[in-house]
Copies of this chain bind each other. A is one copy, B any other.
Amino acid sequence: MTGFFNVSDLHAVTALVGRFPVTEAEEVPLGDALGRTLAGEVASDVDIPGFDRATMDGYAVKGADTFGASDGSPAWLRLAGTVAMGDEPAFALKQGEAAAISTGGMLPDGADAVVMVEHTDQVDGATIEVYRSVAPGHHVITRGEDFEQGRPILAAGTRIGAAEAGLLAAAGRATVAVRKKPRVGIVSTGDEVVSVDTTPTRGEIRDINTHTLSAMVTEAGGEPRALGIAGDGEGDLEPLLNEALASCDMVLISGGSSVGMRDRTLAAMEGADESEVLVHGIAISPGKPTILARIAGKPVWGLPGHVASAMVVFEVVVRPFLLAASGSAEKARPFVSARLTRNIASAQGRTDFVRTRLVPDGEGYRAEPLPGKSGLIHTMVHADGLVRIERDTEGLYRDSRVTVHLLP
């Protein structure tokens, strides 16, 4: 079935994200899980820590035994023993007793606090003096204080960063169930496009989009698969599209900035089995001539050929679909608020994304819009983020405060 749409609002496009499936789960070693997305909720198999743990070197005590202790009037405690690291103490603390303990050691039963070694003196082999009062719980991490056994510690959809990897280690997850990386087929189009290892003759240009888009797919947690360059001839694109559909979870076809090529891309999409064109044009700049079709249940994108346009469309439109495909509940990119260094013009009726450099300026940043045609790659190298200008805004004045969404 084929549907035709007028130019869509950005939010209407983003709302289509639920029309596409999430990848399957797979079990991977914890060491390979960085950047991956948790397939399910994770609970800890143990209390973390599993015992009351000293956070200082000193003596495990009953806090009450030290109340009122001072330099002038120290508390005298009997040494009940020494805690060996990694072992459960074989003794319990009775009133008036203390046990030598190192950071990380397990408090003996009966102890509820640690007094720092600096605040004690050993009188003889059996007795210490304590010069400070410690409250119960002081210099101790109590059993289950970090996490309790069985309590969910990470939600499904969490992206695994360093802290999450630590948490999973603490919870005993030597392997982790994560979503498979969405495989993304990437096709460039155009008779003028040649591969990176070719020296272009006059009229030709090297394929840039395959490389920028592959990198952005990787950054977003996908697995790019570069399928090559399709010419402008009738039927040139279909074999690569079919190959991509057979092996990938999502397809990106870039190029086709000319009306003829765009029609060719659209025709190839419409000609595929189980195809429905959901979006044909988005009210954004750059990136208006973007196409989204659902083919055999998979998202197939027609992206602008201009390199900066393709990158912006990937960032603001495609990336949320890729994150959703891996089940990610990732938060939005961080943003900074900054003052514009000059006016930006904008047309009403579309959402503009302006490539912007951030220049540190005391406590904050100045936002310097980067002019440049969307067919040029070099401005993207200098861009730190994008300023979004809503469709009901005509433009922004110099010195106004703008929100800059950071690029990776």
Instruction: For A162, give the chain B residue with the smallest CB separation.
Output: B215
1/0 per residue, CB under 8 A from B, across A52-76: the answer is 0101010000000000000000000
**A247 on the interface (CB 8 Å rule)?**
no
Task: State whether A45 touches B199 (Cβ < 8 A).
Answer: yes
Binds B, one of A6-14, A203-211, A274-282, A295-303: A203-211
Q: For residue A377, which residues in chain B have a CB less than 8 angstroms away from its CB?
A: 48, 146, 163, 166-167, 170
Q: A residues bordering B, Cβ < 8 Å?
A: 30-31, 34, 45-46, 48-51, 53, 55, 57, 84-89, 102-106, 117, 141, 145-147, 153-154, 160-170, 172-174, 190-194, 196-197, 199-216, 218-219, 226, 232, 257-261, 305-307, 311, 334-337, 358, 363-364, 373, 375-378, 380-381, 383-384, 401, 403, 406, 408
Number of identical protomers: 2
Additional A-B contacts beyond A30-B196, A85-B191, A105-B203 (19; CB < 8 A): A53-B205, A57-B259, A86-B191, A86-B194, A102-B258, A103-B257, A104-B192, A141-B373, A141-B376, A145-B376, A146-B378, A153-B378, A161-B215, A162-B380, A165-B211, A167-B378, A170-B208, A172-B196, A334-B334
**Cβ of A182 to closest chain B Cβ, rounded Å:** 17
- Which one of B53, B160, B162, B211 contacts A166 once the chains associate, using CB atoms below 8 Å? B211
On chain B, the residues within 8 Å of A168 by CB distance are 211
How many Å from the CB of A378 to the closest CB on chain B?
A: 5
Alpha-carbon distance A336/B385, docked complex (angstroms): 13
Q: A86-B203, A191-B85, A381-B163 are in contact. Are A31 and B403 (CB under 8 A)?
A: no
Q: In this complex, what residue of B is CB-closest to A372?
A: B146
Q: Which residues of the partner chain B approach A84 to less than 8 Å between Cβ atoms?
A: 191
Complex Cα distance A231/B45, Å? 24
28 intermolecular pairs with C-beta atoms under 8 Å apart: A31-B214, A34-B218, A46-B199, A48-B205, A50-B205, A53-B205, A55-B375, A85-B232, A86-B193, A87-B191, A87-B203, A88-B203, A103-B305, A105-B203, A117-B259, A145-B373, A147-B378, A154-B381, A162-B380, A162-B408, A163-B380, A163-B381, A164-B381, A165-B212, A166-B380, A169-B211, A172-B199, A173-B196
Min C-beta distance of A396 to chain B, whole Å: 13
Q: Which residue of B lies closest to A219 (CB)?
A: B162
Bound Cα distance from A167 to B308, whole angstroms: 11
